[in-house]
């Protein structure tokens, strides 16, 4: 698999407002189509969405019907209780016969009633889902799954320069045959801010933002390139989900993938950037 094919399109903004620093709105259908067209042109065929992402599934489904696309690997997420899971509605909205993956969106749903997972397994057995798994936010959630010997196919976790909390589990997950997908590559744009552009909520990482900016200047590499290639540099990661505001930005990010060949040593010592504070790592905790 090429590095480009490891990218996946995060479709949250296809359906609702999903931006914490820049106050941008959900994308128009035209813009969403342009992003998907560009992705298709570059053979990026994995799309990440959720039943809870507003009209995102419908937008993707309309695109599939209009463009007569057959090769999309669509992953959606469910948050309802086990008795309320409606995979059929997602299939109809997305205009597909089966889904590449379905993830349990909230681990608390599973912890409260693990039959939600086995309900998904029934859909998998019927051929309506290829892979089932979890979208997780805390390493202890993953530890619980491993200790409980839950046999899942795919996991999605936050992973970026600051958020390295799940990295120590990647080898074990690969040994278990689990597909690893990562999100929050750019941490909702935080990495693009200079230290004097963020408020006191980010005081604990202002120095790290400054160091990242200095690294960008000294190596003549855009910060987006550093962020993206840092995640791609770990071969254990199968898919790197990126949220994109327009097709031009997607093309630019694809172009960044070759940058890592210029400075292969750039990520030595990046463990020093790691942050454990969820008030920094979780945008919905931000006070801005």
> What pLDDT digit, counting tens, does each position of 182-231 carry?
999 999 999 999 999 999 999 999 999 999 999 999 999 999 999 999 99
Residue 205: HSE in the Cβ half-sphere, 13 Å Cα cutoff: 28
pTM for the model stands at: 0.95
Q: 77 has which bridge partners?
A: 103
Which of 185, 242, 255, 286 has the alpha carbon at shortest distance from 13?
242
CA distance 156 to 83: 23
Which of 209, 194, 75, 192 has the alpha carbon at shortest distance from 129?
75
pLDDT tens for each residue of 5-19: 999 999 999 987 666
pLDDT tens for each residue of 238-269: 999 999 999 999 999 999 997 766 666 889 89
SS3 (DSSP) at 166: coil
Region of 149 (left: φ > 0; alpha: ψ -120 to 50; beta: rest) is left
Which of 184, 254, 208, 251 has the alpha carbon at shortest distance from 6?
254
Q: Which helix (H) or strand (E) holds 74?
A: strand 73-78
Which domains does the chain possess? 4-285 (3.20.20.100)
pLDDT tens for each residue of 116-143: 999 999 999 999 999 999 999 999 999 9
pLDDT for position 15? 86
């Amino acid at each position: 698999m090429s590095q480009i094919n490891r990218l996946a399109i995060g479709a949250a903004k296809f359906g609702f407002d999903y931006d914490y620093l820049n106050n941008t709105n959900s994308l128009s259908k035209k813009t969403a189509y342009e992003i998907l067209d560009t992705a298709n042109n570059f053979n990026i065929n994995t799309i990440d969405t959720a039943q809870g992402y507003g009209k995102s599934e419908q937008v993707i489904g309309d695109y599939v019907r209009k463009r007569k696309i057959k090769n999309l690997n669509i992953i959606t997420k469910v948050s309802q209780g086990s008795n309320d899971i409606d995979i059929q509605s997602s299939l109809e909205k997305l205009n597909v016969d089966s889904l590449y993956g379905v993830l349990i969106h909230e681990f608390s749903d599973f912890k409260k009633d693990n039959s939600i997972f086995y309900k998904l397994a029934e859909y998998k057995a019927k051929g309506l889902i290829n892979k089932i798994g979890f979208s997780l936010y805390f390493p202890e959630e993953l530890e619980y799954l491993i200790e409980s010997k839950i046999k899942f196919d795919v996991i999605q976790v936050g992973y970026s320069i600051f958020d390295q909390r799940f990295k120590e589990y990647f080898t074990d997950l690969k040994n278990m045959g689990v597909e690893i997908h990562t999100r929050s590559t750019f941490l909702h744009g935080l990495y693009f801010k200079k230290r004097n552009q963020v408020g006191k909520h980010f005081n604990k990482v202002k120095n790290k933002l400054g160091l990242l900016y200095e690294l960008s200047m000294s190596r003549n590499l855009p910060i987006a390139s550093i962020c993206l290639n840092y995640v791609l540099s770990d071969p254990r990661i199968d898919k790197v989900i990126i949220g994109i505001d327009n097709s031009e930005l997607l093309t630019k990010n694809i172009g960044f993938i070759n940058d890592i060949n210029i400075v292969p040593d750039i990520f030595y010592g990046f463990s020093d950037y790691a942050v454990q504070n969820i008030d920094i790592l979780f945008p919905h905790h931000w006070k801005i």
